[in-house]
């Protein structure tokens, strides 16, 4: 557990007995990730992390405000995500490939953390904000590159807002990941991207004369979504 020490010797500014804390930090993150591979965030306890890391619980709470934040840090620091960031010359192809690889990862044990972070965020606004800043936006920025390439190339209509583009592509998958309805296979990823690009509209459809009648608000139960 304390093996890494040797590696870090190199550029460590030598303070008297101070490099201990970095070691503890590392051990905590590592232990957290290992535990999260086997249990859900809810079931991983701070005690378990401390025990496994050979660290005091107080040390954990010294640097992190709560368990979720530790998990977020552990995830960000420890996970080298094998996700495609393709550049095929076609934005649609790029997104398709990326969505496939992303889906594959997010259905894996560790990938499920994404859902658990979202879940945790529902009762902890500060955490959700942190999750957005440090996790979500980073990935979205990367994805926006693919989008921009498509726009620059004249492949994607420039009128459409980039955020909407991303949410249209990733939203359906996220929804399915979280709610568990609908499959997450490669062919679904393909179909989603294809439909997002092509649109729902039948091009030869002739819109009838404007019907201004507004749909009446119906008072009924369980009608929407």
Q: According to the binding rule CB under 8 A, does residue 129 interact with a copy of itself?
A: yes
Contacts of 45 (CB under 8 A, 6+ apart): 67
Residue 111's binding partner out of DNA, a copy of itself, none, with CB under 5 to 8 Å set by partner kind: none
Q: According to the binding rule CB under 7 A, does residue 21 interact with DNA?
A: yes
Q: Which stretch binds a copy of itself (CB under 8 A): 3-11, 24-32, 60-68, 142-150?
A: 142-150
Report the distance separating Cα 179 and Cα 20, nearest Å: 43
30-89: contacts with a copy of itself (CB under 8 A): 40-43, 76, 79-89
Taking the complex as a whole, the smallest distance from the CB of residue 130 to a copy of itself amounts, in Å, to 11
Contacts of 148 (CB under 8 A, 6+ apart): 162
Q: Give buried/exposed letters for 36-61 (b at 16+ CB in 10 A, else e).
A: beeeebeebeeeebbebbebeeebbe
Counting residues that bind DNA (by CB under 7 A) gives 28
163-192: contacts with a copy of itself (CB under 8 A): 163-165, 167-168, 170-176, 178-182, 188, 191-192
What tokens appear for 40 in the block?
């859900």
Three-state DSSP at 65 gives: coil
| 122, 41 Cβ separation under 8 angstroms | no
Taking the complex as a whole, the smallest distance from the CB of residue 76 to DNA amounts, in Å, to 18
Taking the complex as a whole, the smallest distance from the CB of residue 185 to DNA amounts, in Å, to 33
Q: According to the binding rule CB under 7 A, does residue 154 interact with DNA?
A: no
61-100: contacts with DNA (CB under 7 A): 61-63, 66-67
CB atoms within 10 A of CB 67: 20
Nearer to DNA, 13 or 208 (CB): 13
Q: Which stretch binds DNA (CB under 7 A): 7-15, 79-87, 139-147, 155-163?
A: 7-15
CB atoms within 10 A of CB 100: 21
């Amino acid at each position: 557990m304390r093996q890494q020490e040797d590696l870090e010797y190199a550029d460590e500014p030598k303070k008297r007995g101070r490099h201990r804390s970095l070691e503890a930090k590392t051990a905590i993150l590592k232990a957290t990730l290992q535990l999260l591979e086997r249990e859900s965030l809810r079931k991983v306890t701070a005690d378990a992390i401390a025990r496994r890391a050979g660290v005091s619980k107080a040390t954990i709470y010294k640097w992190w405000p709560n368990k979720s934040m530790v998990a977020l840090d552990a995830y960000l620091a420890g996970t080298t995500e094998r996700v495609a960031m393709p550049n095929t010359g076609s934005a649609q192809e790029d997104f398709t490939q990326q969505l496939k690889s992303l889906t594959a990862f997010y259905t894996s044990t560790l990938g499920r953390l994404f859902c658990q972070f979202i879940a945790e965020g529902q009762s902890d606004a500060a955490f959700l904000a942190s999750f957005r800043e440090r996790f979500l936006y980073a990935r979205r920025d990367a994805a926006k590159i693919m989008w921009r390439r498509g726009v620059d190339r004249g492949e994607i209509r420039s009128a459409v807002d980039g955020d909407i583009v991303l949410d249209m592509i990733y939203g359906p998958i996220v929804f399915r990941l979280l709610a568990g309805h609908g499959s997450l296979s490669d062919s679904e990823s393909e179909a989603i991207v294809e439909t997002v690009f092509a649109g729902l509209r039948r091009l030869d459809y002739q819109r009838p004369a404007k019907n201004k009648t507004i749909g009446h608000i119906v008072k009924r139960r369980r009608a929407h979504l």
